[in-house]
Amino acid sequence: MNFELASLNLAGAAADKTDALVVLVRDGFKPGKDALSRLIDDAINMGDLDTKAGKLLQAWRAQGLAAPRLLLVGVGDGSPRQVRTAVTAAMASIKAAPVKHMTLCFSVACGAGAVRAAMLAVAEATYAYTTTKSKPEARKLQRVKVGVPDSASVTTAFAQARAVTAGVEMAKEWANRPANHATPTLLAEAARSLAKGAKLQCEVLGPRQVAKLGMGAFMAVAQGSEEPLRFIVLRYNGAAKSSAPVVLVGKGITFDTGGISIKPAAEMDEMKFDMGGAASVLGVFRALADLKPQVNVVGLIPACENMPDGRAVKPGDVVTSMSGQTIEILNTDAEGRLVLCDALTYAERFSPAAVIDIATLTGACVVALGAVRSGLFASSEALSQALFEAGEASLDLCWRMPLDDDYAEGLKTNFADVANVAGRAGGAVTAAKFLQRFAGKFDWAHLDIAGTAWKGGAAKGATGRPVGLLVEYLLSLGTKAPEGPKVIPKAARKTRVASRQVAGRAQ
Ligand code: BES
Ligand code: MN
Ligand code: ZN
């Protein structure tokens, strides 16, 4: 999607030669002296236009307008949420029309959040997956002019939304691809080509290197598959080398059959989305490549399939993770935490300011929070607050969940340091408690996106979440601390680096 930003008042919008002019009208609309203003005012006064968010009034070849199609849309109070509702409704109503160029006009000054919400809603409404179709239908809408009274006031928001849109679409693309078109090897290639830009690097480890690192938990999941595993390391260097990076860890199970603890057949196809966390990391890097904020970010993706096979890991097998902790794999379907725990240990070498893992981890999180909010777990209050706020600001919502130690009771076993599952109760929390054992050396947060990464049913498809939340968070660090994130006080970080050097893993 091609977005451009322009300063446009309603008189200018009326003269704009475009296929469709969409005007967003707020509660308490105050008309100017131009004809379009008067038309809007009349429509409101006569009761034909309601300014409630999502209410529409459509006209064709309206007098005095250069555009053949006019769509007046109520945006209520003009908040980002209401703007999103409005633009989504507007896009649905012009979907069938042959609109290649559209102008989206804010009739009064609006905030940065409203502009971003509008752009993301346009992109969302017009996205179409085509990769594995023999006769793909191209996106009809090609260019969108975003018109605001004063474009200078929203240039940053505009650039951010454009980058997030590209990131979200990249995440959707990879998550939507079927597992035979999104193998660990193909994911690694996507990461590599993403890293061709300035300030980006990518390194890909294969089975031998992963074995050498001692990632016994990750390898146990991969061993039932013919597809070789990949461990992807992406780096974005936007700040000084001395600035501690934020590490993003994305679960990259390219297909989750459950392994020997095999899943039922119904809806198993949706387990191609089990690399939604990995896809969101790729999407974030796509946005970083555009925006070039002053932060350092590392992306880690443990990618493999979870398959049943003669060589597959069996319930009761005990494996040794990279951290040295032994794990009894009681259920091979709880594989996400196994690939993530080794990636978390690997993250230590970056002396990170914070580590955030993103994973389609548990069906229990879907039960707890549904498709509205991702589950947020965090060992640090500040990090939790920052991620929560980033979610609110980007309309990519999350909700904090508990991490009381009592939840870890069920992970105890007689045969290893820890089991990979506890009972059914509190499943999203016990999964997070498992991960927390591997995240003791840095500030850590975990986003369980099992309910939010994709939609099922007729609208089946990836959502691109939580790219918006993560980019918002990373940008907030870039602006608050020009020389890089300072989530951890300096003194604390020194001790951490020192302890890692003793362990001989500093880089
Ligand atoms: N990828 C699934 C989680 C999942 C299930 C996400 C359904 C979205 C919808 C994960 O690997 C898994 O299978 N988790 C198990 C854990 C259980 C065995 C403790 C689950 O949630 O059932
Ligand atoms: Mn599973
Ligand atoms: Zn899984």
Domains of the chain, first to last: 2-154 (3.40.220.10), 172-503 (3.40.630.10)
Mark 95-130 as b/e (b = at least 16 C-beta within 10 Å).
eebebebbbbbbbbebbbbbbbbbbbbbbbbbbebe
- Look at residue 504 in the predicted model and tell me its pLDDT: 36
Ligand 3 centre to CA of 271 (Å) is 7
Distance 278 CA to ligand 3 centre (A): 12
Model pTM above 0.85: yes
**Torsional sign, CA 386, 392, 397, 402:** positive
Q: What's the token pair of residue 450?
A: 């099992």
Is any atom of ligand 1 closer than 6 Å to the C-beta of 86? no
Nearest ligand (C-alpha, residue 420): 1
Pocket probe mutation, ligand 1, options 221, 253, 267, 333, max atoms within 8 Å of Cβ: 333
Which residues, in sequence order, are CB contacts of 441 under 8 Å at separation 6+?
A: 348, 496, 499, 500
Would you say residue 364 has pLDDT above 80?
A: yes
Cα(365) to ligand 1 centroid in Å equals 9
Mean pLDDT (the chain) is: 94
pLDDT band at 300 (very low <50, low <70, confident <90, very high): very high
Query: pLDDT, tens digit, for every residue of 167-187?
Result: 999 999 999 999 999 999 999
Among all ligands shown, which has an atom nearest to the Cα of 331? Answer: 1
Q: Which atom of ligand 1 is nearest to the CA of 306?
A: 11
479 band by pLDDT with thresholds 50, 70 and 90: low
- What is the 256 CA–ligand 1 centroid distance (Å)? 9
33 is catalytic: no
**Beta carbon of 364 within 6 Å of any ligand 1 atom:** yes
Q: For 303-341, what is each residue's pLDDT tens digit?
A: 999 999 999 999 999 999 999 999 999 999 999 999 999
Is-contact 56 134, C-beta < 8 A?
Answer: no
Residue 337 is a catalytic residue:
yes
Nearest to 327 by CA among 335, 319, 336: 319
Measured distance between the N- and C-terminal CA atoms of the chain, rounded to whole angstroms: 40
Catalytic residue among 263, 349, 455, 500: 263
Considering every ligand atom shown, identify the ligand nearest to the alpha carbon of residue 259 and give its number: 2
Q: Which of 384, 382, 383, 423 is nearest to 406 (CA)?
A: 423
For residue 313, report the distance from its CA to the centre of ligand 1, in Å: 17
Cβ contact 398:469 at 8 Å: yes
* Mean pLDDT value across residues 196-210: 97
- Pairing mode, strands 444-448 and 374-378: antiparallel
Residue 486, pLDDT above cutoff 60: no
Which residue in 337, 373, 433, 493 is the catalytic one?
Answer: 337
